[in-house]
């Protein structure tokens, strides 16, 4: 059945310059120190520009940076900053704002200090600072000043790296590398970024209102240096919207963008407003290697082989998701010859119920057991993980010798209590790419990575990833990353299941919404109606 939707959403009367975006998630934090959820990052991205940003075609271009000079050895980035970029209190955005923001992440032991270290940004001195934090040491001002970021003058920023980082400019568009006005942030203290009044802006929009769990409202920043490309007067984010409620709002013309779930896909799939968009997230099972049963390779193999990934995506999710064939998502990165990593690396997943049973039987024999029980831990507030975990339970329950228990909690509790403390067997989780390089996924399997909650250890992988972090030859580095993924998949340290898509209803009259499933996926600056 084809439905006729009004879809003129977000327009109150004659106000055609308001864009309304419905989100299933909430904005939790506007501090780039530790904001780690997609909705919060979208909001930060709307109000603050970094050295680089996404243009209307999805490419990374200069933002606060007017130009960049790269040294001949590729290790020193010298950014000349625009002089017309202002904070909304009237202060100019300077090189000192970047130095302060980056040092602040280490000073406060924020969520993203690992991104400055070796293997990612590889900023000089950052690995040493990271090691000290991991060892429980307090950092001194001398420690912080040893990091390779320096304000040469107000409008010249120098960044030194230990190796050539091909994706460095892309990293600079991620919020943890954004500037922060020191005077304002220090005055706010721990309140910084916790309300609309405690965040200072330099970007396309100004947040005027933020009600947790309800709505966030933004207005065009009239002092924005690139305001000629901002067509909207107002941006509204409706927060914590149930898909059914969001769809009803769309039909009523109250929103321009509504995410819907699998239950609603059949109702809307033939309508012109229906669009499936890639999210960039890989959904997978995090394995706790401290569990003796799961430390057995045959048990992990049985779990992976029991999952009919195509069936899950096509018949259950129905949102544009598709089966994962490895741990690095498709479309993330291409080789020096232009070949997608996923195509170059190959296929590491399959569905085979018979082989799954054989692997389970062999594993049980090795363990000296007739049956094992596995707990699946997931967040009830993390759609579609409830649907996903039910499917997993049914799939594994078809095998003889395994019992499944479902542990429902919240995302925060799942990650920061249960996973962090090792209180899980298999955690239903996801990872989104912070930047367009395979290392954004590969590094979470390192024995030293704080997100390696399952305590997987493979010295060969650690050594290989150390080579990747220091490799200057692009072809050699590419092959090393392919080899690294193979080690991970041979070990099934994580069990990839699907690459997430999102089913949406979108106002056909809206143009310019940039969706780029890397870093911060949604850019609102170029939206017009």
* Residue-wise DSSP of 368-409: T-S-EEEEEEEETTSTTHHHHHHHHHHHHHTSTTEEEEEEEE
| Helices 95-107 and 126-134, packing angle to 10 deg | 30
User: pLDDT by residue (tens digit) across 89-134?
Assistant: 999 999 999 999 999 999 999 999 999 998 899 999 999 999 999 8
Which pLDDT does position 472 carry in this prediction?
81
Task: Kindly report, residue by residue over 331-375, the tens digit of the pLDDT.
Answer: 999 999 999 999 999 999 999 999 999 999 999 999 999 999 999
Crossing angle of the two packed helices 459-470 and 474-491, in degrees rounded to 10:
160
Where are the chain's structural domains? 49-187, 279-501
Reported for 59-68, long-range contacts at CB under 8 A and 24+ positions apart, including other chains, are 60/169, 60/170, 60/173, 63/173, 64/93, 64/179, 64/202, 65/157, 65/172, 68/169
Predicted local confidence at residue 166, as pLDDT: 86
Burial status of residue 213 (CB atoms within 10 A of its CB: 0-12, 13-18, 19 or more)? exposed
**Block mean pLDDT (10 aa), the chain, length 529:** 39 67 94 91 97 94 98 96 97 98 97 91 96 94 98 98 92 97 97 97 98 97 95 96 95 96 93 92 97 98 98 94 97 93 96 98 98 96 86 95 96 93 96 92 92 96 92 92 98 97 96 91 94
Which pairing describes strands 18-22 and 234-238: parallel, antiparallel, or unpaired?
parallel
Contact in structure between 263 and 243 (CB atoms under 8 Å): yes
Rg of the chain, C-alpha, whole Å? 23
What is the distance between the alpha carbons of residues 270 and 291, in angstroms, rounded to a whole number? Answer: 46
One DSSP character per residue, 453-497 reads TT----HHHHHHHHHHHH---HHHHHHHHHHHHHHHHHHTSEEEE
- The Cα–Cα gap between 235 and 270 comes to 28
User: Are 307 and 492 spatial neighbours (Cβ–Cβ below 8 Å)?
Assistant: no
Q: Which residues contact 10 (CB under 8 A, 6 or more apart)?
A: 18, 19, 20, 236, 253, 254, 255, 256, 507, 529
| 502 touches 261 (CB < 8 A) | no
Decide if 425 contacts 288 (C-beta within 8 A): yes
Neighbouring C-beta atoms of residue 46, cutoff 10 Å = 25
Peptide bond into 384 cis (omega under 30): yes
Collapsing DSSP to helix, strand or coil, 423 comes out as coil
- Residues in CB range of 137: below 8 A, 6 or more apart: none
- Residues 172/116, Cβ–Cβ less than 8 Å: no
Q: What 8-state DSSP symbol labels residue 517?
A: S
Cα separation, 163 vs 126, whole angstroms:
12
Residues in the chain: 529
Topology annotation, domain 49-187:
Dipeptide-binding Protein; domain 1 (3.90.76)
Cβ atoms of residues 257 and 22 within 8 Å:
yes
Question: Crossing angle for the helix pair 297-305 and 353-367, nearest 10 degrees?
Answer: 160
Residue 340, pLDDT score = 95
The reported pLDDT for the residue numbered 78 is: 98
Q: What is the pLDDT of residue 4?
A: 36
CA–centroid distance for 23 within its chain: 16
What one-character-per-residue DSSP string does 333-363 give? -B-TTS-BHHHHH-------HHHHHHHHHHH
427 contacts: CB under 8 Å, gap ≥ 6? 285, 286, 288, 376, 377, 378, 414, 418, 419, 453
Check residue 12 and give its pLDDT.
43
CA–CA dist 270, 3 (Å, integer): 8
Q: Which pLDDT score is estimated for 13? A: 41
Please name the residues in contact with 13: beta carbons below 8 A apart, sequence gap of 6 or more. Answer: none
pLDDT in the model for residue 6:
38
Q: How far is the C-alpha of 313 from the C-alpha of 274, rounded, in Å? A: 17
- Burial class for 330, CB neighbours closer than 10 Å (0-12, 13-18, 19+): middle
**Inter-CA distances, 413 with 29, 366, 432, Å:** 17, 33, 19
Considering only the C-alpha atoms of the chain, give the largest distance between any 2 of them, rounded to a whole number of Å: 72
**CATH code at 279-501:** 3.10.105.10
**Which residues, 6+ apart, have CB-to-CB distance to 476 below 8 Å?**
none
The whole-angstrom separation of Cα 240 and Cα 366 is 47
Within 10 Å of residue 195's Cβ, how many Cβ atoms?
Answer: 15
Pairing between β-strand 494-506 and β-strand 322-323 as defined by DSSP bridges: antiparallel
């Amino acid at each position: 059945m084809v439905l006729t939707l009004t879809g003129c959403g977000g327009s109150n009367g004659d106000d055609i310059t308001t864009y309304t975006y419905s989100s299933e998630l909430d904005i939790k934090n506007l501090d780039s120190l530790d904001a780690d959820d997609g909705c919060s990052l979208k909001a930060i991205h709307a109000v603050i520009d970094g050295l680089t940003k996404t243009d209307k075609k999805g490419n990374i271009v200069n933002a606060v940076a007017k130009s960049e000079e790269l040294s001949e050895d590729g290790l020193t980035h010298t950014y000349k900053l625009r002089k017309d970029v202002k904070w909304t209190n009237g202060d100019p955005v300077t090189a000192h704002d970047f130095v302060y923001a980056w040092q602040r992440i280490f000073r406060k032991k924020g969520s993203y200090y690992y991104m400055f270290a070796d293997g990612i940004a590889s900023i000089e001195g950052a690995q040493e600072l990271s090691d000290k934090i991991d060892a429980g040491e307090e950092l001194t001002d001398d420690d912080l000043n040893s990091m390779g970021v320096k304000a040469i003058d107000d409008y010249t920023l120098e960044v030194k790296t230990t190796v050539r980082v091909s994706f460095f400019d892309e990293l600079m568009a991620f919020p943890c590398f954004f500037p922060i006005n020191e005077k304002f942030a220090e005055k706010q203290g721990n309140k910084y970024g916790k309300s609309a009044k405690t965040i200072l802006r330099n970007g396309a929009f100004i947040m005027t209102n933020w009600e947790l769990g309800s709505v966030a409202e933004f207005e065009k920043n009239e002092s924005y240096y690139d305001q000629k490309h901002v067509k909207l007067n107002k941006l509204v984010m409706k927060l914590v919207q149930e898909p059914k409620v969001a769809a009803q709002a769309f039909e009523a013309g109250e929103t321009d963008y509504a995410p819907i779930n699998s239950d609603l896909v059949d109702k809307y799939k033939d309508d012109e407003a229906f669009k499936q968009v890639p999210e960039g997230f890989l959904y997978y099972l995090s394995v706790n290697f401290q569990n003796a049963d799961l430390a057995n390779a045959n048990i992990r193999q049985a779990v992976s082989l029991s999952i009919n990934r195509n069936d899950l995506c096509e018949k259950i999710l129905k949102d544009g998701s598709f089966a994962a064939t490895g741990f690095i998502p498709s479309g993330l990165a291409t080789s020096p010859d232009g070949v997608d990593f996923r195509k170059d690396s190959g296929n590491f997943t399959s569905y085979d119920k018979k082989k799954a049973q054989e692997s389970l039987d062999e594993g049980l024999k090795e363990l000296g057991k007739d049956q094992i029980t596995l707990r699946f831990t997931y967040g009830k507030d993390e759609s579609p993980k409830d649907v996903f975990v039910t499917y997993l339970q049914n799939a594994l329950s078809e095998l003889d010798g395994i019992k499944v228990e479902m542990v429902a909690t919240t995302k925060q509790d799942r990650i920061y209590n249960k996973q962090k403390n090792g209180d899980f067997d298999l955690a239903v989780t996801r990872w989104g790419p912070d930047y367009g390089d395979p290392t954004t996924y590969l590094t979470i399997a390192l024995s030293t990575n704080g997100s390696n909650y399952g305590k997987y250890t493979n010295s060969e992988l650690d050594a290989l990833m150390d080579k990747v972090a220091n490799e200057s030859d692009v072809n050699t580095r590419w092959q090393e990353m392919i080899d690294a993924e193979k080690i991970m998949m041979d070990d099934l340290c994580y069990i990839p299941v699907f690459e997430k898509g999102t089913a949406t209803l979108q106002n056909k009259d809206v143009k310019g919404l940039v969706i780029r499933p890397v870093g911060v996926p949604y850019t609102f600056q170029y939206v017009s109606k």
